[in-house]
Structure 1
């Protein structure tokens, strides 16, 4: 068995234990030596698998000995997915049109869920919205807050998968939106319109009007990219 294949064996074994309930968040993995012996792989392969799991946000490792040492199963939804998406964005692995279409799907679901939830909490999003009214904001500062606003809505929806995906896409969202600002002739007018659109979306959500919220956020996202000449999002 090659080293490349061997560390995958460790991952597959831990995944199977998680699926079968033999391992749960908070449980400690067996020591490296025991895992290596049980699975018939080298300790270097076990260490490689643990490094991968740590990057993915599935374990926390501690050095030394005692109760804080070893690898403990944790559940960090934003960890691995966000890291993967950020790296793909940095490597230009995602076409811009696909990023925009993904935003349309995710954020339409976000506002729909929020509007349908009588216990919705949009206070954090409104704090960001108020910060965007600052008259001395640079374009970059305004657009960074814009990305934070959309992430705040995703987190408020309570859907941890969507929130994790939005967190990972935030780099793409912010960088593409900032790149598009240079293509907008009258930025001040565009920023004023974006503020108005944001407030209308939040108002529709707080009014419990999912249909209006979905229509508004679709027009908001697609409209910005079209105005900036960045993407074709007619669907």
Structure 2
């Protein structure tokens, strides 16, 4: 159910990466508007925004709002070295084994929550906003999955490590894909969603309490638990 948006996002990244790598565009140049990119590439504007957000996190573009010379996205860097590899991570992520994605998530997100706990949850406004949105029991499974991915990315963004954010962004499609497959395979999805909501709140509460070890253990159990439930449902 998330395959189409994921493919659309990759189309946008592939196009912009190709233009950057070939030198057709470079620092100081402006990208076409969201509307123009969406029309040219035949994707939704939400897919364009997702791709631009990843590029901005990587320091390749800077976006502005409103109108005039500062509006839109301007290129401020070129994807050389590590940045180029991180862009290619987004393209390659769909072929990664689920087990590898799960292990990588645990490594990255355990470090994220432990770091956030050291500051006792300062700067978690966006995390709490997404958390509140996920409490809406009228959400469709597809909406829940999209918000779930956004919640975990928002935690990484709150921790402030740009490399971790870029890697989580690069893995987002792969993460959403296996979470979405779980939705289709788990018989009692409503019960599973309620448990996931409770686990999310527990993780954020532990961060707020400054308990790094407990937060690390909770996010590990959260990620492993969903994967185990999904695997058990296909056995």
TM-score, normalised relative to structure 1: 0.65
Structure 1 residue 86 displacement after superposition: 1.7
Q: Which moved more, 1:175-184 or 1:190-199?
A: 175-184
1:212 equivalenced with 2:179 (yes/no): no
Measured after TM superposition, the shift of residue 61 of structure 1 is 5.2
With over 3 angstroms needed to count, the CA separation of the structure-2 counterparts of 1:145 and 1:50, relative to structure 1, is closer
- The equivalent residue for 2:201 is 199
Q: Residues 66-119 of structure 1: CA distance to partner in whole angstroms, max 9, x if unpaired?
A: xxxxx97538899645531221023x1x11111100000000000000001257
Report the equivalent of 1:8. none
2:145 to 143, 146, 151: 143
Say what the alpha-carbon RMSD is for the aligned residues.
3.1
Bigger fraction of residues in helix: 2
Partner of 1:5: none
| 1:89 aligned partner | 93
Q: 1:224 to 1:175 in 2, by over 3 A?
A: same
Cα distance in 2 for partners of 1:176, 1:212 equals 26
Cα pair distance change 1:53/1:106, threshold 3 Å: farther
User: Which structure has the larger Rg?
Assistant: 1
Gaps of 5+ in 1: 1-48, 64-70, 231-235
**Contact 1:120 1:157 (C-alpha < 8 Å) held by counterparts:** no
Q: Say if 1:81 and 1:121 are closer, same or farther in 2 by CA, change over 3 A.
A: farther
Q: List alignment gaps of at least 5 residues for structure 2.
A: 1-17, 31-73
Q: Give, in whole Å, the separation in 2 of the partners of 1:224 and 1:151.
A: 17
